[in-house]
Amino acid sequence: MNTDHHLAFLGIATGETGSRCVVCGRNIDSDNYHVDRYNRRACTCHNVQCCCFCGRIIGNDAVDVPYFGTACGRCGSERSYDELETIRTFCYSFFASHKLYLPAVRICLLSAEEMQLAHGSPEGTPRGVASRNSSGYRIDLMRQLSRIGMAKTLAHELAHLWQWHRNIDAPHTYCEGFCNLVASLVVSQISKTEALVILHQMMENPDPAYGAAFRELKIVYDIHGWQTLIEAMKTFQDRS
Ligand SMILES: [Zn+2]
Ligand SMILES: [Zn+2]
Ligand SMILES: [Zn+2]
């Protein structure tokens, strides 16, 4: 499952003037303004919101995402199966090049509402869920994610599949931490500001599994490399 906290970050900055406000379109003539991690700016007189998926300040293209929040237009527009195919190919190339073999899986796009009905809990609506039953593996992804957000979520869920397929039964924290490490490595191949924002958020996530265990495994990976990390995960293999 993937329930990472939102990317919203908003600060009041003081700096150069003359940039355009993403809400009203006027030049910001004060040296005080709202600013997000993309360096998009808005006048302090607006009651600004950040996109629940990518964290951008929302201009005039707010889209209500039921059960989830308010998204910017680029995230709120739903991803198509054609886009998913491009994202899937991108994620699979990472798994292939790291010798993580994946079982066959059916990947489905669900609206936020459908996601809530199928997998919602009091903690919220997940962005992605992997499941397995007698008919095989399945991954459900929220359609409204940004492309990079979807790549991150899909990579995370595929890492669950790899663990199940290899009978790796790690404690919850390492299970999710490993999935987030894989997701971070996939996202780090994308040279876009949003990828940096996502990586920043992952590094700051206070959650014991998605944050702390992820960072612990990242240190193993950074110092000892990929092979050592995989060997460490395989110590949780159930050989019974
Ligand atoms: Zn997960
Ligand atoms: Zn403005
Ligand atoms: Zn967005």
Instruction: Please name the helix (run of DSSP H) or strand (run of DSSP E) that holds residue 85, with its range, or none.
Output: helix 81-97
User: What does each of the 240 residues of the chain score in pLDDT, given as a tens digit?
Assistant: 655 544 555 566 665 556 889 999 998 878 788 888 888 889 989 989 999 888 899 998 899 988 888 999 888 889 999 999 999 999 999 999 999 999 999 999 999 999 999 999 888 899 999 999 888 999 999 999 999 999 999 999 999 999 999 999 999 999 999 999 999 999 999 999 999 999 999 999 999 999 999 999 999 999 999 999 999 999 999 877
Phi/psi region, residue 16 (left: phi>0; alpha: psi -120 to 50; beta: rest), is beta
What pLDDT score was predicted for residue 2? 59
Name residues whose C-beta falls within 8 Å of residue 138's C-beta, 6 or more positions apart in sequence.
Answer: 105, 106, 107, 108, 130, 131, 132
Please return the burial class of 22, using the count of CB atoms within 10 Å of its CB with bins 0-12, 13-18 and 19+.
buried
Calpha distance 174→132 (Å, rounded) = 20
What pLDDT score was predicted for residue 4? 52
What pLDDT score was predicted for residue 39? 86
Centre of ligand 3 to C-alpha 23, Å, is 14
Residues near ion ligand 1 (Cβ under 5 Å): 1, 176, 179
Instruction: Please name the helix (run of DSSP H) or strand (run of DSSP E) that holds residue 130, with its range, or none.
Output: strand 128-133
Centre of ligand 2 to C-alpha 26, Å, is 6
Q: CA angle, corner 114, sides to 108 and 115, nearest 5?
A: 70
Calpha distance 170→177 (Å, rounded) = 10
Centre of ligand 1 to C-alpha 44, Å, is 38
What pLDDT score was predicted for residue 219? 97
Calpha distance 74→77 (Å, rounded) = 6
Calpha distance 51→37 (Å, rounded) = 12
Strands 128-133, 41-43: parallel, antiparallel or unpaired by DSSP? unpaired
What pLDDT score was predicted for residue 91? 98
User: What does each C-alpha distance from 111 to 22, 126, 145 come to in angstroms?
Assistant: 27, 11, 10
**Residue 40 near residue 74, CB atoms below 8 Å:** no
